[in-house]
With several copies, the nearest count.
Chain A
Amino acid sequence: MEELPLDFEVAPAAPEREDALQLSLESWEGPLDLLLALARNQKVDLKQISILALVEQYLSFISEARELKLEVAADYLVMAAWLAYLKSALLLPKDPLEDPSPDELALRLQLRLQRLAAMRDAAARLLARDRVGRDVFLRAKPEGLRDVRVRRWDASLYDLLSAYGQVKLRSEPVVHMVSRRPVVTLDAALHHLQRMLGVKLDWAELSDFLPVDYDGPLRRSAIASSFVAALELARQGRVELKQEGAFEPLYLKAAAMGQGA
């Protein structure tokens, strides 16, 4: 891969030409701008302008520039080619079938030039108006209108007292007490269930096997433990289980001895 030269020679600047043509070409903003300048040289109203004469001027301008080996940007050449076509079409005997007709093309060009000229004049008139900071002046340091936001703090007496409560609590010695939760262990449930199975002979609901004085979380714990215990006893073949459907009551019965083992 070729390395880029770090210290390349800068091409010498092109010698300054005392050539108005070149300077002019650079000072135009595109072919339409140049056309408008040439049109204005005709010193007639743009409505009466001779498009043919304008085309002639443009083409000779561009060809002169090329003879002087000036670089002519592509869009100027495109316009030159189009104008050359327009010129020949305007000069040739009219072909009524040609669409669009050269007259129409010329009219379009004329309309475009009129519009550009109108906006150029408008810009000049706009810039000539009395402008702020140049012709008319405002106050240098106005006081200004201000909207000042005033913060209004809000809190209720409850906020205040509960905040103080928290402070007091934080500063009191902290004692952690772990509360023992009421549970029925699996062992206890197994033991209890086996005992009860000896008493109840027919099908009975699981909840009937629970101690009657259990309620609340302790009862929930007993149900869970007893259920697991029932499954364990069933696995051992010591109990039969029956349920009509999902979420229906679960019935237990001691397995008939002799058939199981």
Chain B
Amino acid sequence: MIDDLERAIEAMLFASDEALDARQVANRLGGEMTPGDVRAIIQTIAARHAGSGIELVERGGHWHFQTPADLAHLLRRERDDPRKLSRAAAEVLAIVAYHEPVSRAEIEAIRGVQTSKGTLDVLMEAEWVAPAGRREVPGRPLIYKTTDAFLQHFGLTSRKDLPGVDDLRAAGLLDPVDLAFEEAMGELDLVKDGEEA
């Protein structure tokens, strides 16, 4: 059987919108208890909850209920939200990978288009790109490099595994899109034939 005063103090600490100290609790009880008495009862309450899913904790003389830190994972549940990397982000990532360490201005010079700040942020959020210090040139721009997580995600042992430009060309990855299209249609050969005829 829990004593009425103890119940009252417990309820007060539970319903309060801020942590309370012993004096505040004593005042709310009508001022017949000393803060010392209150403190003793609070200790009893805290002991009763110890080891449960509710804790009564003291912070600078003020008391409040909270849930134990080791259960935080139950209260804050993480869910995956898979997203496809945008074309622009893939380009920036590739430039960083091929040219690292590289500054944002250098990325833009290579891409030939302005790069929005969000694009690099996305790559850093994905943990594929990380800052790698500053380049010792006027303005000391931040430079970026790829990470181990990048290598891991793309199945690369090292950056040296990235195919060279010649390999890309051989794989057709350097062909202009419209040229590749005509090739697929087989018309190029015909032109040659026609000319020969």
Contacts and interface: CB of A to CB of B under 8 A. Distances in A.
Contact of B83 (A108, A124, A153, A171): A153
Most-contacted residue by chain B among A135, A156, A217 (CB, 10 A)? A135
Contact of B94 (A75, A126, A144): A126
Given A130-B155, A135-B69, A163-B93, A115 B188 contact: no
A169 B110 contact: no
A150 B94 CA distance: 24
A143 B93 contact: no
B75 interface: yes
B168 A164 contact: yes
B69 to A, nearest CB: 4
Given A122-B163, A132-B152, A168 B168 contact: yes
Contacts of B89: 153, 155
Given A125-B163, A163-B93, A135 B72 contact: yes
B93 A160 contact: yes
Contacts of B98: 119, 122, 164
Contacts of B66: 132, 136-138, 143
Nearest to A31: B112
Most-contacted residue by chain B among A31, A115, A218 (CB, 10 A)? A115
Contacts of A180: 191, 195
Most-contacted residue by chain B among A121, A122, A134, A139 (CB, 10 A)? A122
A119 B87 CA distance: 11
A143 B73 CA distance: 13
A118 B72 CA distance: 29
A7 interface: no
Interface string B163-174: 111001001011
A30 interface: yes
Nearest to A149: B81
B163 A134 contact: no
Contact of B91 (A107, A134, A163): A163
Given A143-B66, A218-B197, A154 B85 contact: yes
A228 interface: no
B98 to A, nearest CB: 6
Contacts of B33: none
B155 A157 contact: yes
A235 interface: no
Contacts of A146: 75-77
B17 A119 contact: no
A214 B15 contact: no
B15 A161 contact: no
Interface string A107-129: 11001101110111111111101
Given A132-B155, A148-B79, A153 B126 contact: yes
Contact of B174 (A147, A169, A182): A169
Nearest to B187: A217
A43 interface: no
A143 B176 contact: no
A141 interface: yes
A213 interface: yes
B42 interface: no
Most-contacted residue by chain B among A116, A123, A145, A168 (CB, 10 A)? A145
Contacts of B82: 133, 151-152, 154
A179 interface: yes
Contact of A150 (B78, B110, B128, B182): B78
Interface in A162-200: 162-171, 179-182
Interface string B121-151: 0110110100000000000000000000000
Contacts of A30: 111-113
16 contacts: A30-B113, A33-B113, A112-B110, A115-B173, A131-B155, A135-B72, A137-B15, A140-B15, A143-B66, A146-B75, A146-B76, A147-B77, A149-B80, A153-B84, A153-B89, A164-B97
Given A129-B156, A139-B14, 6 more contacts: A108-B181, A138-B66, A151-B125, A155-B84, A160-B90, A161-B171
